[in-house]
Chain A
Amino acid sequence: METATTRGKGVYFGLAWFLLTALALGIGFSKAMTAPTEATMGNLYRIFFYHLPHAILSFVFPYLNCAACFAYLYWRNRNPPRAMIADAFALAAGEITVLYSTIGLATGMLWARAAWGIWWTWDARLTTYLLLWLLYVSYMLVRGFAGGGAALPGGGQPGLISAVLGVFAAIDVPICFMSIRWWRTQHPAPVFGGGDGSGIDASMVPAVLWNMVAWGMWGLFLLGWRYALERRRQQQAAAKALAFLSSDLRTQPAQAPAMTEVG
């Protein structure tokens, strides 16, 4: 039995947000391409306008994931429908974290290879970033191993296990950051707030800010879309399970919902 797929109000909001985001991305692109050429790297440096927003934003989404994981753990027994909302949000935020940190890593590696001749180095910042990526890839793996898309409604295993892991991962991120920073420092000194000689030229600031805003809006758009997809999948799985419960031999649906391993 299919749930009726009516179009909710969210779709119109999503469409409007998408148009605004596209506009911001366009402005960001034009600012990035028209900013003055950098002294030492020439036009090569423009990848920075894409690398920086993705790198910074990929530290924001893990904390959205962490908040959603806490919410899930809190509501799991008190208010299961709300817990499912939190779970969908946590999944979406985790996926976007992996996406943004992958792009940050890739753009960083391309930039490093072209500008400094090396693909990678194990300095403080890069190692922390790689660890962030590893932590959230392991989060996605746990969701996959713990039952995949056939989770039964009302919590079930994937939500709980990944919620706990999400909390641990979020605790780990600042520890990684501090300990690895103490271990090595080779990354070009922080561009912003790194003391004398840091900060970028004022003429490049608009490009950075526009791109930051634009990619943030894009990230939120993807988050909302992924969240909506997950909610729809949850509702379909719930409807399927309920249909199975209320059926008898004559009306039994062709396929039973997947049962998870006992153990």
Chain B
Amino acid sequence: MIYVRHVLAHLRKDLRLEWRNRDGINGMLFFALLIVVVFSLAFDPTAYPTTARQISGGLLWVGVLFASITALNGSWARELRNGVLDAHRLSPAPASALFVGKALANFFFVSVVELVLAPVFAIFYNLHPVGNTALLLLILPLGTWALVCNGTFFAALSLRTRNRELLLPLILCPIAMPALLASIQATTNVLTGDFNPDLWMRVLFAYDVLFTTASVLLFEVVLHAD
């Protein structure tokens, strides 16, 4: 339970910092809205409802991906000031608790954005989902966790590189592709009702388990790198 207390402490810290200065979330929300508008330029969403249903799943997840990248870069920036990162390294608390706490905080922020983005999509694109929308309550968190968990880990990795904001999307996107694929396929099914999303939800779950384990195990190494 001590581990959980550490995780909660880190989580509270991140939530509190973000609450005091809501730049990150505001930026993400506005960015997500802009994406909805920009994508609407590529095709006419309301004139072609079938097409809109087929591709909106993909557009939603691309929007979430870009929004979360903007947030992830900033999430570690606050640890660089005032030698906070060195304090983390010196503390006897398990390093992975820092990672899990931060990943949970990022997960919370991106979920807030999604809760706004998904209905906005539905409204602006006149989406009438044919499949079982209740499944979205499972698909969205699983997919978001996949992006956020890997993203938080790679953002920590790129702290010591030259061009850290540029590097994060370059390494996150290839590794997260199977998760993106599964999320998009599952979401598209909910919208079009064409096929069963079970397979994709299982893939997402397996991906989440695998990469969360890998990130938790390797975070200590990354934090204590010279």
Contacts and interface: CB of A to CB of B under 8 A. Distances in A.
Interface of A: 73, 76, 131, 134-135, 138, 141-142, 145-147, 154-157, 160-161, 164-165, 167-169, 171-172, 175-176, 178-180, 182-183, 260-261, 263
A172 B177 CA distance: 9
Contacts of A161: 157-158, 160-161, 222, 225
A229 to B, nearest CB: 23
Interface in B127-185: 150, 154, 157-163, 166-167, 170-171, 173-175, 177-178, 181-182, 185
Contacts of A176: 177-178
B158 to A, nearest CB: 8
Interface of B: 80, 150, 154, 157-163, 166-167, 170-171, 173-175, 177-178, 181-182, 185, 199, 203, 206-207, 210-211, 214, 218, 221-222, 225-226
A179 B185 CA distance: 11
Contacts of A260: 160
A176 B214 CA distance: 16
Contact of B161 (A145, A168, A171): A145
Contacts of A156: 226
Contact of A135 (B174, B211, B214, B225): B174
A153 to B, nearest CB: 12
Main secondary structure of the interface of B (DSSP, over half): helix
A65 to B, nearest CB: 15
A45 B163 CA distance: 44
B166 to A, nearest CB: 8
B193 to A, nearest CB: 18
23 contacts: A131-B174, A134-B177, A138-B170, A138-B171, A138-B175, A141-B167, A142-B157, A142-B158, A146-B160, A147-B161, A154-B226, A161-B157, A165-B157, A167-B214, A167-B218, A168-B150, A168-B175, A168-B211, A171-B210, A172-B178, A180-B178, A182-B199, A261-B160
Given A161-B222, A179-B181, 19 more contacts: A131-B174, A141-B167, A142-B167, A142-B171, A145-B163, A146-B160, A160-B221, A164-B221, A164-B222, A168-B211, A169-B174, A172-B174, A172-B175, A175-B203, A175-B206, A175-B207, A175-B210, A183-B181, A261-B160
A51 B214 CA distance: 34
B214 A160 contact: no
Contacts, number: 96
B178 A179 contact: yes
A157 B199 contact: no
Contacts of A154: 226
B142 to A, nearest CB: 14
Nearest first, the 9 closest Cβ-Cβ pairs linking A and B are: A134-B174, A145-B161, A179-B178, A135-B174, A146-B161, A160-B225, A157-B160, A175-B178, A138-B171
A75 to B, nearest CB: 12
Main secondary structure of the interface of A (DSSP, over half): helix
A147 B218 CA distance: 21
A152 to B, nearest CB: 9
B72 to A, nearest CB: 16
Given A168-B175, A183-B185, A145 B210 contact: no
A73 B221 CA distance: 8
A201 to B, nearest CB: 36
B177 to A, nearest CB: 6
Contacts of B225: 155, 157, 160-161
B157 to A, nearest CB: 5
Contacts of B185: 183
A171 B176 CA distance: 11
A145 B158 CA distance: 9
B71 to A, nearest CB: 20
